[in-house]
Amino acid sequence: MKKNKIVRMKILVLNCGSSSVKYQIIDGGKLNLLVRGSVSEIGSEDALFWQQRDNGSEVKFKSSILDHEQAVQQILDSLLFKKTGILKDISEIFAIGHRVVHGGEYFSKPTLITDEVIEKITECSQLAPLHNPPQIKGIEACKRLIKGIPQVAVFDTAFHQTMPDYAFHYGIPYKFYEKYRIRRYGFHGTSHYYVANRVAKLMDRPLEKIKVITCHLGNGSSVAAVKNGKCIDTSMGFTPLEGLIMGTRSGDIDCSAVLYLMKHEKISAAQMDNILNKESGLKGISGNSNDMQKIVEAAKNGDERNQNALDMFCYRVKKYIGAYAAALNGVDAIVFTAGIGENAASVRASICEGLDYIGVKFNHLANKQTIGTEAVITKNDSKTKIWVIPTNEEIVIAKQTLDVVYHINGM
């Protein structure tokens, strides 16, 4: 097939969660977003379907959608709707890119999905029991419903596979790494990859010659140290629990405190897992919410625990920036992205206070004026630049899906 025919075709990007499927159709030429949408509350008679076209028109309705296959079928049907759809024929979909959370040590790059690949993703489900299984369901559904269209898996963990062994190993007996592959994997890889590439472009610097610290601050948050385009360390670990304080996750904590609590509160491993992942972080500290906007608001109104949660969040990010500046032996750019990183100017300002030792001259006015857009928030003579860059994981998935399929077709 000729490349110019392919570029008129469309890529379907799917992000399957346990009870939702998010999707986008991206045009294969300019990589523009054409349609996005979601099916949520899968498994219910009242599942919610939502779709928005590039011209702003929206479709919303409730319908009985009992499993992921029905969700994918509904998405395909709606893409063909006469008035609001975007496709005349399903064959316009050139390839499907799937977000897959955990690729373990098997996958360090986007990969064409075969039966063998599905087997390995299934094996990695042990490491991500909440995430990989619904993503496999999405892959299987596409296999059955749109036969013959190439599918590509893009892994959250892949970008971090370049970490050196001294960064990814934990200080526990080596046999546990050998037996269970217990190590740091890191997550949000597609987002860190995107903003690290983007900042090099914006600064007109070759990616191979730039040291970047990328801060993905959303409900889940992580920081990565990226040297010459390769990840050398990241804050999330064996699971997305480690590192920063997050909406409901504790981040770093002394394991002995966990054991102590289990003993004295007589709680099971499953209960402790729930506390650390769902009841901790901003929510656990503030007693208010996991939502940063609400925490900022309550802190502004003088609530001490919310202020404390905010201070802890910012301090932890600042500590990681310092650690990664050391790991990188200096830093050219720091990037903020995701919900908090893109929108919360006051949080960015707190994190960046006192970074003059690494050559940061913060521009408070530019920072205040930057909400959800690409902008530099340091002064012109700042040696280290700080950028806000909205993340775009779907574009990366679409682009990498195209690259894999072009390559396989020998183009």
Interface residues with ligand ADP (CB under 6 A) are 218-220, 247, 291-293, 296, 338-340, 343-344
Question: What's the closest the beta carbon of residue 291 comes to ligand ADP, in angstroms?
Answer: 4
Task: Choose between 37 and 220: whose C-beta lies nearer to ligand ADP.
Answer: 220
54 is catalytic: no
Spatial CB neighbours of 278, under 8 Å, sequence gap ≥ 6: 248
Question: What's the closest the beta carbon of residue 221 comes to ligand ADP, in angstroms?
Answer: 8
Task: Choose between 328 and 338: whose C-beta lies nearer to ligand ADP.
Answer: 338
Question: What's the closest the beta carbon of residue 107 comes to ligand ADP, in angstroms?
Answer: 22
Task: Choose between 71 and 338: whose C-beta lies nearer to ligand ADP.
Answer: 338
The beta strand positions in 66-220, using DSSP E, are 93-100, 111-112, 151-155, 211-217
Question: At which residue do the structure tokens 């296959």 appear?
Answer: 69
Question: What's the closest the beta carbon of residue 53 comes to ligand ADP, in angstroms?
Answer: 22
Task: Choose between 182 and 352: whose C-beta lies nearer to ligand ADP.
Answer: 352
Spatial CB neighbours of 208, under 8 Å, sequence gap ≥ 6: 228, 229
Axis-axis angle for helices 345-352, 304-328 (nearest 10)? 60
- Residue 148, Ramachandran bin (φ over 0: left; ψ between -120 and 50: alpha; else beta): left
As given in the structure block, the two tokens for residue 156 are: 């959250």
Task: Choose between 27 and 393: whose C-beta lies nearer to ligand ADP.
Answer: 393
Task: Choose between 340 and 404: whose C-beta lies nearer to ligand ADP.
Answer: 340
Question: What's the closest the beta carbon of residue 219 comes to ligand ADP, in angstroms?
Answer: 3
Measure the CA angle with vertex 13, ends 343 and 217; round to 5°: 25
Spatial CB neighbours of 321, under 8 Å, sequence gap ≥ 6: 213, 215, 223, 331, 334, 351, 355, 358
Burial tier of 149 (Cβ tally within 10 Å: 0-12, 13-18, 19+): middle
Question: What's the closest the beta carbon of residue 350 comes to ligand ADP, in angstroms?
Answer: 12
- Residue 228, Ramachandran bin (φ over 0: left; ψ between -120 and 50: alpha; else beta): left
Catalytic residue among 27, 156, 233, 332: 156
Given a contact cutoff of 8 angstroms between Cβ atoms, the answer to whether 391 and 221 are in contact is: no
Question: What's the closest the beta carbon of residue 192 comes to ligand ADP, in angstroms?
Answer: 13
DSSP H or E segment with residue 7: none
Task: Choose between 104 and 220: whose C-beta lies nearer to ligand ADP.
Answer: 220
Residue number of the CB closest to ligand ADP reads 339
Of 19, 12, 11, the residue nearest 39 (C-alpha): 19
Distance CA 133, CA 145 (A): 18
Given a contact cutoff of 8 angstroms between Cβ atoms, the answer to whether 74 and 128 are in contact is: no
Task: Choose between 119 and 353: whose C-beta lies nearer to ligand ADP.
Answer: 353
The beta strand positions in 172-306, using DSSP E, are 211-217, 221-227, 230-234
Beta bridge partners of 362: 378
Question: What's the closest the beta carbon of residue 145 comes to ligand ADP, in angstroms?
Answer: 27
Catalytic residues: 156
